[in-house]
Amino acid sequence: MYAAPARFCVKDGSPLVEVGDDAAGATDGGDADPTAEETHRYATLAGKILDERYQVDRRMGEGGMSYVYRGRDVETGQVVALKILLPRLSRDPSAVERLRREAAIAERLNHPNVCPILRLGETSDRMLYLVMPFLEGEPLSEREGAQGPFSLAEGIPILVQVCHGLQHAHDLGIVHRDLKPENIMLVPDTTQPNETRAVVMDFGLAKQRRAGPELAKLTQTGIVLGTPEFMSPEQIRGKPLDGRSDVFALGVLAFELFTGQLPFSGKSAQDTMIARLRGGPRSLRQIREDLPSKLEAVIQRCLVVDVAGRYQSMAELGYAFGAVTGGGVLGRIFGR
C-alpha cells in the first residue's frame, strides 16, 4: 500500500492506480480474467489467418500489452506488422472505445518519419489487433546497446528527423507521450543510399492530452503508458499535456543517445522523478567533454521544468539540433 501523494511505485516506477471496493470486486458478475487457454492462443497465431484477412507469419516480439507478429494482408499483398493486444484490454468497453478513437486519429499520420496505424480490428471473439506497416530495421535502443553512445555526426540527423515526424503529429493534435529509444525504428532510407531513416512508432496508443478519470482506467488496461525515465514533470504530476512534454522526453533521449546515461540521477525511479520536478539535470559535457557546448545548451533547454522555458515546438527544436552541426542537416531534413 502507498500513502498519498505517492503516484508511482518506488521499485519500478510504474504508475499507481487507486484500488477501492469497486475495483476489488470487479470480477464479481463481470468478465473473468483471461484464461491460460486464451493467452496461449494469442501467443501462438503463427501460420493462422487472422480475421479472414491477415496471414500471420512469425512472432517478432512481445511486451506488457501485446504480441507482435509479421504478417501479410491477403487482399493487398502488403507485408504488415500485427500487434495483438492482450485479452485484458478487451475487458473494459470505455478503454476499447478510446482506443478506437485514438487509432482513427493515428490513421491520419502520413509522414516518412512516423509509423501510422493502418487499421484497428476486432475479431468475432473480441481479439483486438492493430495493423501497421512492417518496417525492416532495428530499434534505436538496440543500436545504442550494440555500439554505445552516438557520435555527433550520427546522432544529430536522427534527432532532427524525430523532430520533423513529431511536428507532423503535433500539427494533427497527437502527443506521443511515451517517446523513448524503443519507440524509434532505424530503417534504410530508400531515397538516400547508405542513409538511415528514423521512424517514430506507437502513435495512437500513447496520446493523452488531459488528465482525468479516464487516465487511471486506461492505465489499468495498459493503454496509457509513460516510461518513468522519460516522463516530463507535468506528466509525473498528472497535468494536461501538449507537444512540449514530447520536447522534454526528446531532451532526455538525446542526453542518453550521446552519453549512454540519463540526465537525472537517483537511487530509485521515484528519486529520479523528484529530481525532474526540481530541475537540475546533470551536465552533458562533464560526461563527454568532446561534445560542443551548443549541444549541451539545446538539451538543457529541453529539460526546463517550466514548459514555457522549453522549445515551444518540435520544428524549433529540430532547427536547434541541426544548427549544432551546421545547415546541412537542416536543409536535407526540413527541405531548405
Catalytic center residues: 178
Residue matched to cell numbers 522549445: 311
Reduce the DSSP state of residue 51 to 3 states and report it. Answer: coil
What is the SS3 assignment for 186-249?
EEECCCCCCCEEEEECCCCCCCCCCCCHHHHHHHHHCCCCCCHHHCCHHHHCCCCCCHHHHHHH
DSSP string, 119-146: EEEE-TT--EEEEEE---SEEHHHHHHH
d(CA 297, CA 57): 47
User: What distance lies between CA 333 and its chain's CA centroid?
Assistant: 22
Task: Label residues 258-276 b or e (16+ Cβ within 10 Å = b).
Answer: bbeebbbeeeebbebbebb
d(CA 252, CA 232): 9
Residue matched to cell numbers 482525468: 212
Asked if 317 contacts 250 with a C-beta cutoff of 8 angstroms, the reply is yes
